[in-house]
Structure 1
Amino acid sequence: MTGLYFFLAVVSAVCTLMAIVQARRVYWLAPIYFLLAWLAGELALIHVIWQVGLTALLAHMELLTSPLAQTGLGIFALSWLGLIYLHVQAMDSPRVLGNALRQGLGDNYRDDIPADRRLVLEDGIRAGSWLKPFSMTRPGVRLHANISYADAGKRNLLDIYQPEAPREGGFPVLLQVHGGGWIIGEKEQQAKPLMYHLSERGWLCVAINYRLSPAAAFPAHIIDVKKAIAWIREHIADYGGNPDYIAITGGSAGGHLSSLASLTPNYAPFQPGFEEADTTVQAAVPFYGVYDFLDRHDIRPEMSMDELLADKVLQCKADEEPELWESGSPISHVNDHAPPTFVVHGTHDTLVWVEEARAFVSALEKTSQQALAYAELPGGQHAFEVFHSVRTDHTVNAVTEFLEWAHARWVREQ
C-alpha cells in the first residue's frame, strides 16, 4: 500500500509539472504530454480532493510512518501546491475572457444585449458543475439524434439540441464541428458543456459528423460542413430554429473547419453540386484551431504537421498541389467579409501552438470589418473545454455573452 502511495505521488507530481510547464518540442511524446497535462490542469482541485482523501485513509490505517510513505507525502504536498496554483490560474479565466470581450466588442458591450437576454447571462460558475465534470445533460433540452443531412451514411449524421421553451423569432442556431485531427472524432464527444448551456438559454445547437481521413481526402471535410449549413438553412425551421442566423464553432480540426467555413461563404470549390446554397454564417467561435496548413510563419518547424496532412488528410504534398493547401488554410481567406469572430486558445496547448492563433488573429485584425475578440487563456491545454472544469465553465459563459451580443447586433440590423 505504501509503495502504491509513493508511486501515485510521483505520477501526480510529474503530471502537475507537465500542466504548469509550457511544452513545445516534445516530438513523439506530444500526445502523451498533452493527455497528462490536460487531465491534471482541468481537474486540478479534484485531484487534490482524492489525493488528500487517500492520505487521510493511510493516516487512519497508520501507514504513513514508513520512510517511503513519508517521502510520498512530501511529494504529494509539492504536487498539491502546484495543483492549487493551476486551480487559481483557471479561476482567473473570467478576467482574461472579460478583457478579450471588452477589447473586441467595446467596454459597454453588454448594453447592446436586450435586457431580457442579459438575464440569461452568468458571471459566475457553480462548483456543482465542475465537481461533476462529465455530467452533461441539462433540464429543458430535447435531443434529436442521428438525423441525416447528406449521403455519406454515419459520417453525415447530425444531432440537434432543442430548447423545450419556444423563443420569439425562432432559436438562433449554433453549429458545432468536432475535432480529432481530421481522422477521428464523433459529434457526441465535444462541446457538450457549451451546447447544453446555450440550449438551456434559447439557442438551438447542431452537432455534426463529417467524413474523415484517410477514407476521405480534404476538401471532403469542409464540403460536409457546408452541406450541414445548407441543410440547416432548409430544415432547421422544422425544429423551431431561425435559418437566417447560424453561428459556427469547433475545436482543433473543428476550429480549422469552423473558421474556414466562416471565411468562405458560398465558395464554389467547397460546394460541388450545391453551389447555389447559401452557406454564410453570422458568427464564428473557433477553439484552438489550425489556421495555416502551409505554416507560412514558420511556427512549428520541428513539430510539423506536414506528414500527417500530406499522407492522411490532403493526400498530396504541398509542392504537388499548392493551391489545395492554400485554399485549405483559413488564413488564406481572411477578408473584410469575416463575420463577428471570437478566437479562443490556451497558452499551453501542446498540439496546436498558441502562436498559430496569434498569427491568424493578427491577419484578421488587418482586414475584418466586424468585431473580433481573442482570448488567450493562461495554462489552457488543447481540448480544455471538452468536459466541465473551472476554465471550461467560465469560457462557456464568455462565449454565451459573445453570441448573445452578435445575435442582438444582427437582429437590429435586419
Structure 2
Amino acid sequence: MPHVLLAVGAVSLLLAVNARRPRHGAVLLVPSFFAGWLTIELAPHLLVLEVAGLAWTAAAGGLDGRAGWLGLALGLAGTAGTVATIAASRKTLVTLRDSGVPLDLDPQKAPPYPRSHLVLPPLCLIPRRGVRVDRNVVFRQEGRLRLKLDVYRPKEDGRLRPGLMEIHGGAWVIGDKREQGLPLLNHMAVQGWVGFNVNYRLSPRATWPEHLIDLKHFLRWYREHAEEYGADPDFLCVTGGSAGGHLAALVALTANVPKFQPGFEDVDTSVQGAVTFYGVYDLIEPGALPIPFGETKLLQKYVMKRSFAEHREVFAEASPATYVRADAPPFFVIHGSHDSLIPVLEARRFVEKLRDASDSPVLYAEMQGGQHAFDVFPSYRTARVVEGVERYLTGLHRQYVQGKAPSVPDEVDESVG
C-alpha cells in the first residue's frame, strides 16, 4: 500500500505541474493538453478525488513505509497546486471587468449561470428551463450535401430577438454542433437570444475555403428564415472557439467578399459583432509557434491541401489578420494564458493589429491559468465568461436598437427577453 500512496501522490503532483507548465513537444503536446484541460477546468472535482485518494490510501496502511510518506508529501504538494489552479480561475471576474465587460448588475435582470451545472457538468447538455431546441434543421442542401444546425431559443414567443451564430472547433477536421458552445447558447436563450449551432464540411473531405463558404450559406439562410425561429434577420453576432474562432473571425471580417459566397454574391453577409475564443488568426507569420501555423502538416496536407512555400498567398487569404479594416464589427477576443495548442501570443498580436485598424471597440480578456477549450466544461471560469459574453452582446444589441454606433457597453439596463 505505501507504493500505491506514492503513485497517487506522484500523479497528483504531475497533474498540478502540467496544469501550470504544459508540454509543447511533438510527443507530449496532446496528452499534456488533455491532462491540463481536465485538471484546470475540473479542478474542484479533482481536488475532492485527490484528498479522498490520499486519505483512503493512508488509512489503508499507506504510511507503513517510507515510500508512503514520500507519496503523502507529493500528494499534499499536488493538492496545493490544485488549490492554486482554483484560485487562478477565481480571477476571471476581475479579468472580465478589466476588459470592459459590465458585470455588476441586478441579478433579476441578468440571472447568473446555474450553479448546479458547476457541480454536475453533464447538466449543460440538457436544455435549460425555458429553452426549446430545434435540432437538425437543414440550412444547405445541394445533391447529397446536407448541412444542419440546431436552434436554441426561448420557449415563449415574442418580438424578434437578436441572433447568435456558434461555430464549433476541432482543428477543421473533427467536431459537431452537439458538442460545443452549449453552456453559452443555453444561457443566451434564457436571456432572450436565438442561437444557431452550425455544422460545416470538415477536412480532409473539405478543402479550404469550403468551410467558410458553408458558413456563408448559413448567413444567406439566416436572412431568409430567421423570423421563422423568432430571430431578427438584420441582427446577428458570431462566436466560435479554436478552428471555430478562426472561422468566426473570418465570417466577421470578410463580409460580402464575392469569392467566399459564390452564386449569392448579392446577399448581405455582414454581422454585428464577434466573440472569438482561443482562435488562430494568422497563418503566415511566425510568432506563437516556431513556424507559421500554415506550415503545419495538418493545414498543408489535410485542410489547405497546398504547399505553404508554393502557395503562401492562399494561406494569407485564410488568415483573419489579412482582413482587419476600419469598418470591422465589434470584437471580443478571449484566450487562455496557459493555452498549449494555440499560444496566447496569437491572440495578443491579432488584438493589437485589429485595434490599430478598426473604428469599432475591440475587447480582450486573457484568462489567467486557462487552457485551450476551457469553455467546453461549465466550470467557474466558463460561468463567468458566459455571463460576460451575454452582457457584452446584450449591450451591443441595445445600442443597435437605439440606433447608436457600437461602443464598449458601460451598462446594460434592460434584458432582451
TM-score normalised according to structure 2 size? 0.90
The residue number in structure 2 matching 1:12 is 12
1:293, distance to aligned residue in structure 2 (A)? 1.2
Please point out which of 160, 170, 175 is paired with 1:185.
175
Q: Percent identity?
A: 36
Choose from 202, 208, 213 the match for 2:198.
208
In 2, Cα distance between the equivalents of 1:304 and 1:266? Answer: 26
Asked whether the equivalents of residues 165 and 202 of structure 1 are also in contact (C-alpha less than 8 Å), the reply is no
Q: Take 2:161 and 2:243, find their aligned partners in 1: how far apart are those partners?
A: 27
2:11 and 2:217 map into 1 onto residues whose CA distance is 46
The C-alpha deviation readout for 1:356-376, integer Å capped at 9, x for no partner, is 111111111111111110001
> Does residue 147 of structure 1 match 2:146?
no
| Cα separation, 2, equivalents of 1:59 and 1:8 | 10
Identify if the C-alpha distance between structure 1 residues 79 and 223 changes in structure 2 by more than 3 Å, giving closer, same or farther.
same
What is the CA distance between 1:62 and its match in structure 2? 4.8
Hey, what does 1:171 align to over in structure 2? 161
Alignment of 1:96-115 (within 5 A): 96-101=95-100
Report the Cα offset of residue 230 of structure 1: 1.2
Corresponding position of 1:131? 119
In the TM superposition, residue 313 of structure 1 has moved relative to its aligned partner by: 0.7
Contact 2:2 2:64 in 1 (8 A): no
Residues 248-283 of structure 1: CA deviation (Å, up to 9, x unaligned):
000000000000000011111000112122111111
Q: Distance in 2 between matches of 1:240 and 1:189?
A: 24
Q: How many residues align?
A: 400
Taking the aligned partners of 2:367 and 2:76, their CA distance within structure 1 comes to 26
Offset, 1:229: 1.4
- In structure 1, what is the Cα distance between the partners aligned to 2:182 and 2:372? 16
- Between stretches 36-45 and 320-329, larger displacement belongs to 320-329
Q: Are residues 1:300 and 2:278 paired?
A: no
SS of corresponding position for 1:337: coil
Aligned to 2:132, the other structure's residue is in SS state strand
Provide the C-alpha distance between the structure 2 equivalents of 1:151 and 1:72, rounded to a whole number of angstroms: 59
**In the alignment, residue 93 of structure 2 is paired with which amino acid?**
P
Deviation at 1:133, TM superposition (A): 1.8
Native 8 Å contact 2:293 2:299 kept in 1: no
Q: CA deviation at 1:22?
A: 5.6
Q: Tell me the equivalent position of 1:121.
A: 110
Counterpart residue identity of residue 282, structure 2: D
1:178-203 CA distance string (max 9 Å, x none): 00111111111111111111111111
Contact 2:22 2:33 in 1 (8 A): no
Q: Does 1:405 align with 2:405?
A: no
Structure 2 distance, partners of 1:176, 1:69, is 49
Match of 1:49 in 2: 48
| CA deviation profile, 1:281-321 (whole Å, cap 9, x unmatched) | 11100100000111x25331258551221111111123433
Q: What residue is the counterpart of 1:356 in the other structure?
A: 346
SS at match of 1:385: helix
| 1:154 to partner: Cα distance | 7.2
Offset, 1:9 = 2.4
- The amino acid that maps onto 1:196 is N
Shift of residue 5, structure 1, vs aligned partner: 3.9
Calculate the TM-score normalised by the size of structure 1: 0.91
- 283, 287, 296: which one pairs with 2:273? 283
Task: Please give the per-residue CA displacement for 1:385-411, whole angstroms capped at 9, x wherever unaligned.
Answer: 011111111111111111111111111
